Amino acid sequence: MSDRENSSRPDGETPDRNDHTVSRRALLGGAAAGVLGAGAVGLAGGAAGLAGSLVGASPASAREVAHSTDVPPGKLDDYYGVWSGGQSGELRILGVPSMRELIRIPVFNVDGTIGWGITNESKRVLGPNAPLNGDTHHVHMSQTDGHYDGRYLFVNDKANTRVARVRWDVMRTDKILHIPNAQSIHGLRVQRVPKTKYVFCNGEFRVPHPNDGRDLNDPKKYFTVYTAIDAETMKIAWQVLVDGNLDNTETDYTGKYSGATCYNSEGGVHLADMMEAERDWVVFFDIPRIEAAVKAGQYKTFEDPDVPVVDGRHGSKLTLYVPVPKNPHGINASPDGKYVVANGKLSPTVTVMSWEKVDQWFAGKLKDPRDVVLAEPELGLGPLHTTYDGRGNAYTTLFIDSQICKWNLHDAIRAGKGEKVNYIRQKLDVNFQPGHNKASMAETRDADGQWLISLNKFSKDRFLRVGPLHPDNDQLIDISGDEMKLVSDNPVYCEPHDCFMLRRDLVEHKVKQVWDWGDPFYAETVAMAKKDGIDIQSDNKIIRDGNKVRVYMTSAAPAYGLNEFEVNKGDEVTVVITNIDDVEDLTHGFCLSNYGINMEISPHETSSVTFTADKAGVYWYYCTFFCHALHLEMRGRMLVKA
């Protein structure tokens, strides 16, 4: 029986939404379990039974949670939440615990509010002929010594094989890099120690090289690469050729190693081909060795002659391949710097590995790659991602069971040594099919075990109906006590995919309220103005250079510096506006009617747009941000002569 069929009774009464003869969880879990087979179900059953009495899905009352989620008017949230935007190609900033969305940061997408993809400044970041869509999955902040440092955010674009950098101080994308020799960047992580020198990213799909049509049906010539990006220059430092398809990636707390989950060890191109082997692997990368190999010239080049590619396939001294149950997915390092967990996805287990033993293996002290594995605890069906509370507990999403499993790392390791110990602390129902989950500050040494977000792919009947495309459901969970408490459901525009939470007091002071005069983001526009002899803070002038016209004006509530300007049909027109208001939050806009142009200009910012005046007539421009009691009167005319 479907949810829709079960939503009403023949007698006209509407049942409670939890009053189902057959639960959705049973239907979804049963169907998925059928794909995995009875063996996987049997393996997970014992683990699930360990904590059956602790399973619960009802939202906790205010009296049950350890601390309040209420953020009254005029008060601030304790945490910034940074969400990827999925297929929207953007980032989103939320307040936690209120879960109020504060702002969206366009990255790979067109955004009419600020004119991203329209202004000259944004086009310079996006690059020429850039696709105006993206698929952002994994977003991470730069770190120093394992602590968030409030400098940059980095995020991938799986759709178009790119990585972007976002400045935290102005919440604006300032660099976008296309990754050669790869196709579809998925996993992304930052180097933690001593600071974020590198940003690591995974090329997921294997393709032939050169990818020019000559080897379409020869998968043996397909490969992908692991890429290290210089975080400051946003240029590629090096790449590593690997076996298999790269999925997610992670880094250690020494700066020496990183690791990635790999699937498709078979090298297949169809689903059946990718499911034959019983094991795939986690591959670890020795960063100093790779740097030394590059310095010694032990590399090749492919698409880009300036990008060195070292060979890290099986047998290389640069990499370690650790066999794990097939099709592993997430890989997550514990905040104490000791362990890293690979999540089974098609196995009911996760694989707990030791960074110390990884180091011993590269030093030649271990012979079998599996010697780095400490335990493989059974948690339930569909483990995807793990996060931590800083108190020795791990939290893993069980996609098929629609649960968060809380388990103890140390007890799991004891069980891996043969001790009879119950490592599962609790299982909590979530609604439904969780992918990523993140605990507050959990990707740093400062994991504080206060909140957890479960990013659920399905929302079903949790919210008002909005058509066939449902919102996702991000659920906030209180983990500050001994038991997880579900606090709130939060509909989100699909599909945010991943997030992280960082304490407001650590990074709020680094966010600017007003742009700096001459900020590098619009420095090229300022340089153009200086060449034209323009002072952007005071001049309102028109520069004519043949059929190229540059219009410079200021904006100060409630007027533009120019009430009108005149051009000829066919002229290439560049409008440059500088907001000279000093008051924070006094943003202006510039919208040119019937020309598809709108851009935002915040205090002390300069924005510009270039277009062809291809329609003769009178065209009004006006402010799009309500800036003054006379906001509607803040406008002017573009006069286009035929």
Query: How much of the chain is helix, strand and coil, in % rounded to 5?
Result: 15, 40, 45
Tell whether 545 is covered by a domain.
yes
- The range of the structural domain enclosing residue 569 comes to 528-641
Query: Can the peptide bond before residue 495 be classed as cis, meaning omega within 30 degrees of 0?
Result: yes
- The answer, yes or no, to whether residue 38 has pLDDT greater than 60, is no
Nearest by Cα to 575 from 506, 528, 627, 616 = 528
3 state DSSP class of 30: helix
- Give the burial class of 107: count Cβ atoms within 10 A of its Cβ; 0-12 exposed, 13-18 middle, 19 or more buried: buried
Average pLDDT over residues 206-218: 88
Average pLDDT over residues 91-117: 97
At 45 the pLDDT is 36
pLDDT in tens, 418-477: 999 999 999 999 999 999 999 999 999 999 999 999 999 999 989 999 999 999 999 999
Tell whether 629 is covered by a domain.
yes
Average pLDDT over residues 361-369: 97
- The answer, yes or no, to whether residue 265 has pLDDT greater than 90, is no
Compute the distance between CA of residue 479 and CA of residue 554 in angstroms, rounded to an integer.
51
Tell whether 182 is covered by a domain.
no
Question: b/e string for 403-431 if b means 16 or more Cβ within 10 A?
Answer: bbbbbbbebbbbbbeeeeeebbbbbbbbb
Across the chain, what does the average pLDDT equal?
A: 90
Angle between the 24-36 and 38-49 helix axes, to the nearest 10 degrees?
130
pTM: 0.91
CATH number at residue 632: 2.60.40.420
Nearest by Cα to 138 from 265, 246, 295, 299 = 246
Give 574's strand partners. Answer: 550, 610
Tell whether 342 is covered by a domain.
no
pLDDT in tens, 546-566: 999 999 999 999 999 999 999
pLDDT in tens, 43-71: 333 333 333 334 445 556 544 655 778 89
Average pLDDT over residues 165-189: 97
Who wins on pLDDT, 36 or 105?
A: 105
Tell whether 324 is covered by a domain.
no
Tell whether 557 is covered by a domain.
yes
Tell whether 637 is covered by a domain.
yes
Asked whether 585 and 512 are in contact (CB, 8 A), the reply is no
- Give the burial class of 163: count Cβ atoms within 10 A of its Cβ; 0-12 exposed, 13-18 middle, 19 or more buried: buried
- The answer, yes or no, to whether residue 27 has pLDDT greater than 90, is no
Compute the distance between CA of residue 405 and CA of residue 599 in angstroms, rounded to an integer.
46
In degrees rounded to 5, what are phi and psi of residue 412?
-65, -40
Please count the structural domains in the chain: 1
Tell whether 569 is covered by a domain.
yes
